Amino acid sequence: MKMLLLVLGTHPKALAAGTVKLVGSDYNLMVGEVSMLLEDSSYHDGMSKALNPYGKGKACSRIVDYIKTI
């Protein structure tokens, strides 16, 4: 799960999927969102268990495994 603090027109798929949250640069909003993630388990679970639109996060290990076979 990631907290995306500032977006300049990027990551629309992650925003739509719910894997990141756009909070901008407002201090109170950042603190509020982080506090929600730390204190509300259902809020945290909703973001942490959302499907990543960019893959499963296994590309690095797969690349390393392939390189070891060369």
Residue 59, in any domain of the structure: yes
Q: What integer pLDDT is reported at residue 64 of this predicted model?
A: 95
Q: What integer pLDDT is reported at residue 1 of this predicted model?
A: 57
- Residue 61: its H or E element: helix 59-69
3-state DSSP assignment of residue 16: helix
Range of the domain at 16: 12-69
**Structurally, how many domains does the chain consist of?**
1
Question: Which DSSP category does 9 fall into?
Answer: S
Tell me the pTM: 0.59
The structure tokens 């797969």 sit at: 62
Residue 6, in any domain of the structure: no
Q: Check if the beta carbon of residue 35 is closer than 8 Å to that of residue 28.
A: no
Residue 42, in any domain of the structure: yes
Residue 62, in any domain of the structure: yes
pLDDT tens digit string along 23-34?
878 889 889 989
Query: Cα angle vertex 21, ends 16, 25, to 5°?
Result: 135
Residue 28, in any domain of the structure: yes
Residue 53, in any domain of the structure: yes
pLDDT tens digit string along 1-21?
566 555 555 678 888 888 888
